[in-house]
Amino acid sequence: MASAFDRFQELKAFDDTKSGVKGLVDAGVSTVPPIFHHPPGSLALDNTHDHHFGIPVIDLAGPWTPSRRAELVGKVKSAAETVGFFQAVNHGVPEAAMSQMLAAVRSFNEEPAEAKRVYYTRDEGRRVRYQTNFDLFQSPAANWRDTLYFEMEPNGPTGEEIPPACRGVVTDYARSVRTLGGTMLELLSEALGLHRGYLEHATEGLEGLNIAAHYYPACPEPRLTMGTTRHSDPSFFTVLLQDGIGGLQVIVEDEKLQPVWVDVPVVAGALIINIGDFLQLISNDRFKSVEHRVVSKSIGPRVSVACFFQSHGAAVYSPIIPEGDPSPQLYRSTTVEEMLQHFREKGLDGSSTLQHFRV
């Protein structure tokens, strides 16, 4: 095994190319470099077990009569309290906006390396950043993916900051997903037994919206590495668009209460919505921010676009405990920025961000 010093040098040499994993593939690599090797135990594919668990699919189609709304709140509540994931269909985001967003991300990543290098940076002050793994230098093993980040709100990038392949497309897509986010805030508020405007008011409308557009090239040795290490999201909730390749998995308990990985299937026209760490904290563990990962595949590329809904600024949040509920407070009060800072510092190391905030 390479020494820590050797590993740093290998990481730096890779990062200095500013060509990402796509650059390795374009160079014709037939083996996965050691910096991407993951411990065998972290690669176990437990989803071969014989279990009967599916990711809920929730149809948001209207009209929303009072009884229809109550039905939807019940379904969202059930999903949020168990697997923490569901697939939304008839969600109001135009199919054209979704397909154009995926095509734009693919187009950017498949441009010549020299055209992309101007966007490659680890400067968190830049609102548009292209890079391989935000935690490349602190994670135990690198993930086989490249990412284009957009900090869309509260102060989004100018047109010149956005790569030409994505101009117009990303802002239109963000606008459509923002509308869905408002709907989700209402349903999640009611699922917590609160009035429908509660979370909108408490979070000031979740005016922080970040987008991570991931590009997972086909991997020559998929059993040696991961597309994304197991983690939960440091957001209130996440809206994920994925293409038809698949590879996303969530960890659930089977009939014997043993943790297993299950695939999140590709559902035509669906957007995946998952509870984030901040909503688990605010709900005092009533809602579950479930760990998930992306396995590497020999086919690809896989493209996905994650929209992270989070608050912005120094607002302090505490667990909401309904009046008369004897449950103890499970988390200390914190800010979104503190949680994000802890997440960035620890990276995708397989541990839960929430453990840092438990009382």
pLDDT at 48: 47
**Which among 297, 314, 122, 145 is positioned nearest to 214, based on CA atoms?**
145
**Distance separating alpha carbons of residues 138 and 346, to the nearest angstrom:** 7
Q: What angle do CA 310, 311, 317 make, to 5 degrees?
A: 110
What pLDDT was estimated at residue 42?
74
Q: Is the peptide bond before 33 cis (omega within 30 degrees of 0)?
A: no
Q: How far is CA 289 from CA 56, 130, 251, 292, in A?
A: 15, 27, 11, 9
Let me know if residue 193 belongs to a domain.
Answer: yes
In-domain check, residue 232: yes
- What is the model's pLDDT at position 340? 86
Domain containing 157 equals 56-357
Q: Which residues pair with 127 in a beta bridge?
A: none
pTM of the predicted protein model: 0.93
What is the spatial order of strands in the sheet that 302-310 belongs to?
57-59, 85-89, 271-275, 237-242, 302-310, 208-216, 146-153, 128-131
- Gap between the terminal Cα atoms of the chain: 39
> Contact 237/184 with Cβ under 8 angstroms?
yes
What is the helix, strand, coil percentage profile of the chain, to 5? 35, 20, 45
- Classify residue 9: in a domain, yes or no: no
The candidate with the shortest Cα–Cα distance to 349, out of 84, 122, 141, is 141
> How many angstroms separate the CA atoms of 319 and 311, rounded?
15
Report yes or no on 24 lying in a domain.
no
Q: Is residue 35 part of a domain?
A: no
For residue 70, report the phi and psi dihedrals to the nearest 5 degrees. Answer: -60, -40
User: Is residue 181 a part of any domain in this protein?
Assistant: yes
Question: CA 25, 28, 34: angle at the middle one, nearest 5?
Answer: 70
13 assigned to some structural domain: no
User: Minimal CA–CA distance to 308: which of 210, 186, 242, 170?
Assistant: 210
pLDDT value for 346: 82
Q: Which residues of the chain have pLDDT under 70?
A: 1-5, 43-53, 313
Residue 142 sits in a domain whose CATH number is 2.60.120.330
pLDDT at res. 1:
45
Q: Which two tokens stand for residue 346?
A: 């620890």
Phi/psi at 238 (nearest 5 deg)? -125, 140
Number of domains in the chain: 1
DSSP string computed for 156-210: PPPGGGS-GGGTTHHHHHHHHHHHHHHHHHHHHHHHTTS-TTHHHHHTTTT-EEE
pLDDT digits (tens, 9 = 90+) for 17-27: 999 999 999 99
- Indicate whether 305 belongs to any domain: yes
